[in-house]
Amino acid sequence: MAETIAEGHRAVEAEERLRHAARAAIADELKADSDLPYAAVDRLHTLYELALPTGLRKGELLGLHWEDLDLNGGTATIHRSLQRTRSGGLTVLNTKTLASERRIALPTECINSLKIHQERQQEDRQAAGTGWMGNRLVFTTPKGRPLDPTNVTRRFHRLLHKAGIRTIRFHEQLQI
């Protein structure tokens, strides 16, 4: 029995080492990309940068509205999540449980990245003109539509592949 428990502990430790390596590799990729002009960086750069230190789930990140963020105070209020409904559409819903609702502190680098992202989104809004979808989501397509979680996962997997990290689910990779 003690041998089985030891094997379990080794497996958990190995998985944690993998997660740590993945977080470090993703952070390195983001830092490498940050030497480029912001427009040349992956559109999801800020999403990944926010996910790494906060551990927010993909749906929580994609459901964030600008009014959920206090960039001056350095906090985010989590109380929504972007979900695919049975009809196949994307919709923002309240979190599944009251326990999921919370306020988190935002690291300084995330606040700076979010401010730049907000400016970029303003430029997208102006470029889209009347084609801009009038939502208040933080992370959108260039036309202001919600990002499809499946597409976010695909892009995330490409980033992992580029960094030489084996594919793991988005939330597993970024859990701290």
Cβ count within 10 A of residue 176: 10
Residue predicted with more confidence, 61 or 31: 61
- Amino acid 138: pLDDT: 97
- In CATH, the number for domain 2-174 is 1.10.443
Instruction: Tell whether the model's pLDDT for residue 39 goes beyond 60.
Output: no
128 conformational bin, left if phi > 0, alpha if psi -120 to 50, beta if neither: alpha
Instruction: Tell whether the model's pLDDT for residue 11 goes beyond 70.
Output: no
Segment 65-93, tens digit of pLDDT: 999 999 999 999 999 999 988 887 898 88
- Amino acid 38: pLDDT: 39
What is the band of 36 on the pLDDT scale with cuts at 50, 70, 90?
A: very low
- Amino acid 40: pLDDT: 41
Strand order of the β-sheet with 102-105 is 69-70, 75-78, 102-105
Instruction: Tell whether the model's pLDDT for residue 37 goes beyond 50.
Output: no
Residue predicted with more confidence, 172 or 84: 84
Task: Report the chain's mean pLDDT, rounded to a whole number.
Answer: 80
164 conformational bin, left if phi > 0, alpha if psi -120 to 50, beta if neither: left
Q: Where are the domains of the chain?
A: 2-174
Instruction: Tell whether the model's pLDDT for residue 34 goes beyond 50.
Output: no
- Amino acid 20: pLDDT: 56
Instruction: Tell whether the model's pLDDT for residue 111 goes beyond 90.
Output: yes
Q: Which residues contact 25 (CB under 8 A, 6 or more apart)?
A: 160, 163, 164, 165
